[in-house]
Amino acid sequence: MEFALKLDYRKNVPLYRILAEAIKAAISSGQIAPGEELPSIRQMADMYCTSPATVIRCYDDLSSQGFLDTAPRSKTRVSKNPPLDGESKTSDPAEPLRKTLEPAWSAHGQRLIEARKRSLSHKGVAIYNPGREDLPVAAWNKMILRHNKCYIQDDGALTYSADPFGHLRLREAVAAYLKRARGINCDAGTIVMSSNSRLDLIAKLLIDSGDRVIVEEPCYPAVRRILLSYGAELVPVPVDQDGIMIDRFVNSGDRYKMIHLCPSHHDPTGAVLSMERRLELLEWARDTGTFIFENDFDSHFRYGTKPIPALKGLDGTGSVIYASSFWMAMGPLVRLGYLAVPQKFVATIECLQDVVNRDISVIEQYALTDFINEGFLERHVHRTRVKYTRRRQALIFALKTGLSDAVTINKESAGMHLLVNFGAELDEERIEEAARASDFFIKPTSDYYMTEPKQGEYIIPFVGLDESTIEDTVRRFVSALG
């Protein structure tokens, strides 16, 4: 047990008293909590190069004052209610100084703080939180145990990968999966595995303060925060039923460094970028030298519509940077994501990855490789799509049955949530109070807008709902609305 005390050595003051004063100060400052165990007499004596007799006298002295609880053959602990004599638990003399000295944040740090202040609500809420029964726990554990066992039995067969892009076999598996599932013909050498934000990684390389970047309006708040932290000047462009309205910028003559969009499933509306707009966007990007950051965060789950090939699959000029992850399908079991980048990005990203992203679990990479190659990922997506289809239908039916024309449900059939708009007769305070009272999670979309948000517009995730209780939950919500 390690125990760092501040001993104030003074001439003619016995060591037991100096030690006792240091322990009392640590208790008063909160360094040692009430009820916390102290080192044994021999351990404390060894730490401070003194005799056990000195520690015994110190502990006895503190016990008589009510600071410690001691008894024969039992551990010495801080009293549950030590006599602090009105002292603050933050009586450390350095504490006031620490409170007044604000760090001299970098320009990037200041922009991060400012961008976070603009984010309004639901901090720390995971709105896409599948239940254990929706996750491939058994299959994933099988893969993890396989490679743990391999490591133990083969004396280090899982050597640390020095490749900053991640384990080669995993990147090969991801490239093959993208070709099958997303129509992207890419080489494993252009796949970058990452446990950090893919957008942040690209922004580090591309965005300088003052660069103009197009974002969809509405747009996921974290996207704006990341871009603003690098000093980007954001240009919000509205989204309609066919995706981002590219006529607002393709013929404007204005210059942009990058455009961020979710063409296969816009968040939060679910709109899909039409083929006509995709082709026009790619032509514009080629002619202007603008990079397209394709965020394909939620392409796994579509209901009753054909899969949409990724924009990256249509790109013949190296304009599209493709980003996705396994979070929506397998979170929280797997936090890994990946980029498929143009060849011209490879050398520079390798330099950056060497510095910022060397902490990906080796065993997790090996396990994920087998999980993909043995078909577990696609079987899992198919099974969960069937479950989510039923939950989505049950939620739509319950909302329309209970509220009829007082609720409008977005027609786009993809993703893991519904986008709904409550009628003007239902004010937002009343809606949110009813949701809290009925334990029915809804999230306002106001945080998604840079411009004026839509009144009464909410996200309702259905992934974590129990299909058998959806009807009752919505009925309670409707009843609470009055």
The pLDDT tens digits of the residues spanning 25-46 come to 888 888 888 989 998 888 888 8
Pairing between strand 233-240 and 243-244?
antiparallel
DSSP state of 37: B
Is residue 48 within 8 Å of residue 2, measured between CB atoms? no
Residues 6+ apart with CB under 8 A from 181: 307, 378
**Calpha distance 158→151 (Å, rounded):** 6
**Calpha distance 120→112 (Å, rounded):** 15
Please list the ranges in the chain whose pLDDT falls under 50: 86-91, 93-94, 97-98, 120-125
Residue 400, class by beta-carbon neighbours within 10 Å (0-12 exposed, 13-18 middle, 19+ buried)? middle
pTM of the model: 0.78
Give the per-residue pLDDT at 88: 42
Give the per-residue pLDDT at 123: 47
Give the per-residue pLDDT at 437: 92
Pairing between strand 291-295 and 320-325?
parallel
Find tokens 């103009």 and name the residue. 212
Find tokens 């504490």 and name the residue. 95
Q: Which residues of 354-386 are buried (b: 16+ CB within 10 A; e: fewer)?
A: eeebeebeebbbbbbbbbbeeebbeebbeebee
Give the per-residue pLDDT at 273: 92
Give the per-residue pLDDT at 161: 58
Domains and CATH numbers, the chain: 15-98 (1.10.10.10), 110-378 (3.40.640.10), 387-481 (3.90.1150.10)
Give the per-residue pLDDT at 22: 92
Give the per-residue pLDDT at 360: 79
What's the token pair of residue 411?
């027609």
What kind and span of H or E run contains 239? strand 233-240
Find tokens 């309609």 and name the residue. 240
**Calpha distance 479→115 (Å, rounded):** 38
- Size of the chain in residues: 482
Give the per-residue pLDDT at 124: 43
Q: Give how far the C-alpha of residue 235 lies from the chain's centroid of Cα atoms, to the nearest Å.
A: 25
SS3 assignment, position 40: coil
In DSSP notation, 382-446 reads HHHHHHHHHHHHHHHHHHHHHHGGGEEE----BSSEEEEEE-TTS-HHHHHHHHHHTT---EESG
**Calpha distance 402→159 (Å, rounded):** 58
Closest CA to 39 of 10, 22, 28: 22
**Calpha distance 140→460 (Å, rounded):** 28
